Amino acid sequence: MNLLAWIIALLFFALGLLAYLGLWKNWMRVARGYGSFMGFCCLYIGVGMLSAGVAVTIGVRTPIGSVLIVIAAALMLLAIVGFWWLPSFLQPAWFRRSRAGALGRRSAAG
């Protein structure tokens, strides 16, 4: 994996970590179905890319490399599905509270 791919993987990881910690919330401004969990998916993309990068570096045909590739594929699949739906146990508590408050405001106004 080349240097640019490592930098992009670390960037995705950092953005996802900031989203989970609640320090980056700009991605939440627009309420939509697709991309509702976009910030959180960045973490899975980043960790998946880093896992794949390590697997490529040590060798995909080694036992550890094979396991890392499977982990990377599972994380990428989770990130793709996560753009539309993310189970509540993968959502941070601050996000669940924020969504519950927003849903309460919508039902009171409607």
pLDDT of residue 55: 96
108: CB partners within 8 A, 6+ apart: none
For the chain, give every domain's residue range: 3-109
* 12-46 pLDDT tens trace: 999 999 999 999 888 777 666 666 788 999 999 99
- Tell me how far apart the alpha carbons of residues 82 and 18 are, in angstroms, rounded to a whole number: 17
DSSP characters over 11-57: HHHHHHHHHHHTS--GGGSS--STTTTHHHHHHHHHHHHHHHHHHHH
Residue 67 DSSP one-character state:
H
Q: Name the token pair of 110.
A: 């409607």
- Tell me how far apart the alpha carbons of residues 63 and 89 are, in angstroms, rounded to a whole number: 30
What separation in angstroms does the CA of 48 have from each of 29, 64, 68?
26, 15, 9
* 67-102 pLDDT tens trace: 999 999 999 999 999 988 899 999 999 988 887 876
